[in-house]
Chain A
């Protein structure tokens, strides 16, 4: 398919990139720089056409941050109405693939917090440049911003921008609930004039998601019994990390980086964007404020001594990523660690076998009624030379009988004699009928037999299916487990790493002897109680253990736990250092034994399935032969019958 640009040049369309609500986006075969968006709804409504034309007039400086169309597209050159637009092709991934930890592992492997901060600043810069030109993004959402591998971003879906051209306001008309500011929640956005302040909500949320590794500002642990839908939480300013005075509805979720891990200025901006103004919309921080605060953060980053991938703000109380790891056992920035060569153990072998196992399918056979065969055999059984004589002989007989009548009977009796000749003829056909009766009976019997065949084939199929389906189930389960081997390995590695860190941490904490250190609020008596309860070092100070010490109140327990936390904060752990050899070989052993067992099982399943299938095909082949000969027989009888009629 060709599309024509405004100058009449033809562009052959390439592969489809993605489909959106309004149109499909295709590559252009001759270009690595441009793509084309073809609209679903044609003709494009007049207002939209005007908007697309107006988009073309936006200044070049706005084009750096957004994929603004470079030309309208037409189905034929000289068409008055466009059916598409040609726009810069944006490489990179949707922004959610960057802030979401899973997406990051898949598409931005190795990206650290530093990269996220850089991307956040670039997002703010993109908004800043658009806002400077009086352009409102309108439908800010996680699928309309793409991030490249150098952390620069580009905003797509520009036909939903809001802007003014030639004295006319083109509104955005679309929105996404999860990205809609409180004051617009539940309102129709059709024809609504949006403001920079509305955009500022989406911008703040993007920055938050990037700095908090995929956590939403309004997702938290509920502190009341009323469940909040995502939209209600926005509407009620239920910022989970801080409040602006009113009673909090949500607290920070477990496993989120602490709010204190970013500089006070940024915290302030987030509170202003999300928590403040429950009474009504207030000005949210603009793009400029974010750029400044994010640049400041970018200038004050440091590396956690525990990991080459744990980058954080220099002023953070402790490494936020280590504390997440401690809380929920997930490393949000595992970097490229754990991707050593051992990772490839058996991957080749297991994926090939997994594919073969998944490809095992039942191929139920069907009795082929040889329809072509039936026709030809019918013709073969009824050669014209054979039937011709029989008709001829009937006619001859008639003539002979008429002749004999004429010769043997007196004249004038010709009438009845013709009649009797006809009678004779009738008699002839009567005898034919009785013979036909026998044939019809035979045919019925044959039909009956043929009918049985379909039952028999179905029985065969059912039996085969019954035999094989547990096997196929096993095969697909096994394939899944085979494919999970790398994941299993990585998971085991992660768990081991966490355990390894915990063990190291415990060892470290054991160095803090309670009796050597003066803890505020712990006098001699309390110290004695602790020691007699077996709590001698910081490592022993665990919530459960401390609570169980007789007559210790919550306040004392809290003090102890706080002391432990201070000790923990001094802990330095090099998570990027390779695991000790014994641990590594244990994992490899685990993978290898698992793999060997699975492969053996997989191969035996494959073998059994092939055996069953071979036996089934053989049985079915026999049935097919019987069936064919029965059909042949029927054809013969049918031929015989039609010969007689």
Chain B
């Protein structure tokens, strides 16, 4: 009998040997994101996927995964090429287990990297892109300290790129405990999620296109960050 297979398994590592750039979106879907913010976030993620699909090379290299944190930490989408991705619609509810979500993202990256190695596929420095409008409700747990440690070590060894984005009244001070000192969190201007994700898309594209010897040059995030951060 023929078993059915989920769609993205079709695009196996074997039929696309391009080097990969794995990117985990760690998204705050706690109650406070309800209403306009969560809707904008949904649209923004779709916009990211659309932008990546338009680029023949990026759509073969970038793999997206989505982890949400709200009433629980949830792997909303495992690593998938943009062309096969149908981002789920997020609902906002519950607390903000940010630390646990970051630990989970880290684990997801590690296991994906192992799959790349097994398949003989090269990969670029993985990204974690965290978006929150609050502060962690698990900052007293071991998750939080573990998350901080993982980000710190990963960044120091250049094995990870961590971005923290603060929305509305997010506690940036706490968020900055997590962010690397060289790349503190940025504040999203209003709810400009689409602009932000468009920026993320072109940044991911530029990962493999930078000129040697020059620092990794990301496009300016001017269009979506707030200066009064």
A376 at the interface (CB under 8 A from B): no
Query: Is B170 in contact with chain A by the CB < 8 A criterion?
Result: no
Q: Are B2 and A177 in contact (CB under 8 A)?
A: no
| Chain A min CB distance to B35 (Å) | 9
Q: Is the CB of A185 within 8 A of B212?
A: yes
Beta-carbon contact of A255 and B212 below 8 Å: no
Within 8 A of B (CB), among A170-202: 173-178, 180, 184-190
Chain A's nearest CB lies how many Å from the CB of B160? 13
The answer on a CB contact under 8 Å between B120 and A221 is yes
**Cα distance A255–B11 in the bound complex, in angstroms:** 14
Q: Number of B residues contacting the other chain (C-beta, 8 Å)?
A: 38
Which residue of B17, B125, B214 contacts A219 across the interface (Cβ within 8 Å)? B17
- Interface of B, secondary structure class, is loop
A176 touches B19 (CB 8 A): no
Task: Quote the shortest CB–CB distance from A603 to chain B (angstroms).
Answer: 20
Give chain B interface residues in 7-24, CB to chain A under 8 Å. Answer: 7, 10-12, 14-19
* Interface stretch (choices B25-33, B83-91, B138-146, B189-197): B83-91
* 25 interchain pairs, CB-CB under 8 A: A101-B16, A103-B60, A141-B209, A143-B57, A143-B209, A175-B212, A176-B209, A177-B212, A189-B213, A214-B16, A214-B18, A215-B17, A216-B17, A216-B19, A219-B17, A222-B117, A253-B120, A254-B120, A255-B14, A256-B17, A256-B120, A469-B91, A473-B89, A488-B7, A586-B2
Q: Please name all residues of chain B whose beta carbon is closer than 8 Å to the beta carbon of A329 when the two chains form the complex.
A: 14
Residue of chain B at shortest CB distance from A142: B57
Within the complex, the shortest CB–CB distance from B94 to chain A, in Å, comes to 15
* B212 pairs with A188, CB closer than 8 A: yes
Asked whether any CB of chain B lies closer than 8 Å to the CB of A328, the reply is yes
CA gap between A492 and B1 in the complex, in Å: 10
Task: Give bound CA distance, A173 to B212, whole Å.
Answer: 10
How far does the alpha carbon of A96 sit from the alpha carbon of B15 in the complex, in Å?
13
Whether A174 touches B211, Cβ cut-off 8 Å, given contacts A96-B57, A254-B119, is yes
Contact B89 A102 (CB under 8 A): no
Q: Which residues of B contact A233 (CB under 8 A)?
A: 122
Cβ–Cβ contact A100 & B19, under 8 A = no
Listed from nearest, the 4 A-B pairs whose CB atoms lie closest are A253-B120, A188-B213, A328-B14, A480-B86
Find chain A residues with CB under 8 A from B88 CB: 473
B210: A residues at CB distance < 8 A? 176-177
Residues of B within 8 A of A101 (CB): 15-17
Q: Which residue of B lies closest to A192 (CB)?
A: B213
Asked whether A230 lies within 8 Å of B122 as measured between CB atoms, the reply is: yes
Cβ–Cβ < 8 Å partners of A590 in chain B: 2
Which of B11, B56, B91, B125 is within 8 Å of A96, CB to CB? B56
A252–B17 alpha-carbon span in the complex (Å): 12
B121 within 8 A of A: yes
Q: B163 at interface (Cβ–Cβ under 8 A)?
A: no
Task: Report the bound CA distance from A472 to B89 in whole Å.
Answer: 9
Additional A-B contact list (19), CB under 8 Å, known A100-B16, A233-B122, A488-B4: A96-B56, A175-B211, A175-B212, A177-B208, A177-B212, A184-B212, A186-B212, A189-B213, A219-B122, A230-B19, A230-B124, A255-B14, A324-B14, A329-B14, A469-B89, A487-B7, A491-B10, A495-B3, A586-B2
Provide the residues of chain B in CB contact with A349, threshold 8 Å: none
Please state if B57 and A495 are interface contacts (CB–CB under 8 Å).
Answer: no
Q: Does A561 contact B (CB under 8 A)?
A: no
* B4, B17, B56, B91: most-surrounded residue (chain A CB, <10 A): B17
Q: How near does chain A come to B47, taking the closest CB pair, in angstroms? A: 15
Q: Contact string, A247-260, partner B, CB cutoff 8 A, digits 1/0?
A: 00011111110000
Q: How far is the CA of A620 from the CA of B10 in the complex (A)?
A: 46
Q: Which of A215-249 contact B (CB under 8 A)?
A: 215-216, 218-222, 227, 229-230, 233, 240
What are the residues of chain B within 8 A of A230 when measuring CB–CB?
19, 122-124
Task: Kindly identify which residue among B7, B19, B212 contacts A480, using a CB–CB cutoff of 8 Å.
Answer: B7
Give chain A residues whose Cβ lies under 8 Å from the Cβ of B119: 253-255
B89: chain A residues at CB < 8 Å are 469, 472-473, 476
Q: Shortest Cβ distance from A606 into chain B, in angstroms?
A: 17
- In the bound complex, how far is the Cα of B122 from the Cα of A253, in angstroms? 11
Interface size of A as a range: 35 or more
Please measure, in the bound complex, the distance between the C-alpha atom of A397 and the C-alpha atom of B88, giving whole angstroms: 75
Residues of A contacting B4 with CB < 8 Å? 488, 492
Answer whether residue A330 sits at the interface, using C-beta atoms and an 8 A cutoff: yes
CB-CB < 8 A to B111: which residues of A?
none
Contact call A180/B57, Cβ cutoff below 8 A: no
Within 8 Å CB of A96, what residues of B? 18, 56-57, 60
Across chains A and B, the number of contacting residue pairs, with CB separation under 8 Å, is 137
Task: Confirm or deny: A135 has a beta carbon within 8 angstroms of a beta carbon on chain B.
Answer: no
B-chain residues with CB within 8 Å of residue A13 when the two chains form the complex: none
Q: Is A510's CB within 8 Å of the partner chain B?
A: no
- With A96-B57, A176-B208, A477-B86 as known contacts, state yes or no: A102 contacts B120, CB within 8 Å: no
B21 to chain A, nearest CB (A): 10
Interface bits A497-533 vs B (CB < 8 Å: 1, else 0): 0000000000000000000000000000000000000
Contact mask for chain B residues 75-106; partner A; CB cutoff 8 A; 1 contact, 0 none: 00000000000101101000000000000000
Quick one: given A188-B213, A487-B10, A491-B5, are A330 and B86 in contact (CB under 8 Å)?
A: no
Is A3 close to B, CB under 8 A?
A: no
- Complex contact B60–A176 (CB within 8 A): no
- Asked if A484 is at the interface of the complex by the 8 Å CB criterion, the answer is yes
Q: Smallest distance from the beta carbon of B72 to chain A beta carbons, Å?
A: 17
**A94 beta carbon closer than 8 Å to chain B:** yes
Closest to B3 in A: A495
Given the complex of chains A and B, what is the CA–CA distance between A214 and B57 in angstroms? 13
Contact (Cβ within 8 A) B214 A188:
yes
- Write the nearest CB–CB distance from B52 to chain A, whole angstroms: 14
The 8 Å CB contact of B11, one of A102, A187, A219, is: A102
List of A residues within 8 angstroms of B56 by Cβ: 94, 96-97, 103
Whole-angstrom CA separation of A233 from B122 in the bound complex: 9
Q: Taking the complex as formed, is A496 at the interface, i.e. its CB lies under 8 A from any CB of chain B?
A: yes
> Quick check: is A332 within 8 A (CB to CB) of the other chain?
yes
The answer to the question of A367 belonging to the interface, with a C-beta cut-off of 8 Å to chain B, is no
A485 to chain B, nearest CB (A): 10
Check if B17 sits within 8 Å of A100, measured CB to CB: yes
- Taking a contact as CB atoms closer than 8 A, the residue among A100, A173, A221, A492 that contacts B118 in the complex is A221
B16's nearest neighbour on chain A, judged by CB, is: A102
CB proximity of B223 to chain A, nearest CB, Å: 16
CA of A214 to CA of B12, assembled, Å: 14
A587 contacts the other chain (CB 8 A): yes
- A233–B123 Cα distance when bound, in Å, is 11
Task: Indicate if the CB atoms of A187 and B16 lie closer than 8 Å.
Answer: no
Q: In whole angstroms, what is the CA distance A55 to B9 when docked?
A: 47
B213 and A100 within 8 A (CB):
no
Known A-B contacts A100-B60, A230-B122, A253-B121; A178 and B208 likewise in contact (beta carbons under 8 Å): yes
User: Which residue in chain B gives the minimum CB-CB distance to A222?
Assistant: B117
Q: Which residues of A contact B212 (CB under 8 A)?
A: 175-177, 180, 184-189
Q: Which residues from A are CB-within-8-Å of B19?
A: 178, 216, 219, 230
Alpha-carbon distance A496/B3, docked complex (angstroms)? 10
CA distance A200 to B91 in the complex (A): 54
A94/B213 in contact, CB under 8 A: no
Q: Are A253 and B17 CB-contacts (below 8 A) given A189-B211, A219-B122?
A: yes
Contact of B57 with A190 in the complex, beta carbons under 8 Å = no
Contact across chains for B17 and A484 when beta carbons are under 8 A apart: no
Cross-chain contact B120 with A476 (CB below 8 angstroms)? no
Q: A94-B56, A476-B89, A477-B86 are in contact. Are A496 and B120 (CB under 8 A)?
A: no
List the B side residues contacting A252 at CB < 8 Å: 120
